Amino acid sequence: MGLFRGVKSGRTTAAAIAYPTLLRARLHADTFPLRLSMKTAKELTREWFDRVWNHLDRSAIEDLMDPRCEILGLTTTVRGPRGFLSVHESFTTAFDQIHVEVLELVAEENEVAGHARFGARHRESQRQVDMIFSFSGKFENGRLIQIRNVVDYTSLLAQLNLFDPRRIEVIFSPGREDSAS
């Protein structure tokens, strides 16, 4: 009996055919990727926003973020789940009724980029806020290893009446200080 023949029948079985393929995949995982249950970068990104922000599931941060992950653009650069938890706590302390909707998402292999909408209620002022931000991320072994965010905080501050966007005119139009007052 050969390796590819069923023990009793002498016929080739599906398991006997699949076994060498699975064995080759395990021996050469770097050159022969086998993704039986691995989620795509898009699926992981949607899961991140849904669990971390929409359901405020702090365990998702540990599940989906590598300890080496670098997070840029949310306030200050932080690293890993511990660093991100402090940023997450700052947002959830300042806002409730948080909802993040992924508006656009593109992916190439293990990298993603897109736009999302952040909506929430500011706890102190009770004002609703709504802003669109951009993001990109990189995954390794199903976990985030890099996150970049581009957030328009002036829009957020203006919605909270903490910043008058007309003041920006002063920077770009010298001599117009009086018009923004």
Whether 75 and 62 have beta carbons less than 8 Å apart is answered as no
Is residue 39 scored above 60 in pLDDT? yes
Q: What is the CATH number of domain 41-150?
A: 3.10.450.50
Is residue 122 scored above 50 in pLDDT? yes
**Per-domain boundaries in the chain:** 1-34, 41-150
For residue 113, what pLDDT is reported? Answer: 98
> Distance between CA atoms of 158 and 139, rounded to whole angstroms?
34
pLDDT in tens, 57-106: 999 999 999 999 999 998 789 999 999 999 999 999 999 999 999 999 99
Average pLDDT, the chain: 82
Whether 127 and 120 have beta carbons less than 8 Å apart is answered as no
For residue 22, what pLDDT is reported? Answer: 43
2 — pLDDT class (breaks 50, 70, 90): very low
Residues making up the chain, counted from first to last: 181
For residue 175, what pLDDT is reported? Answer: 66
Across the range 134-158, mean pLDDT stands at 95
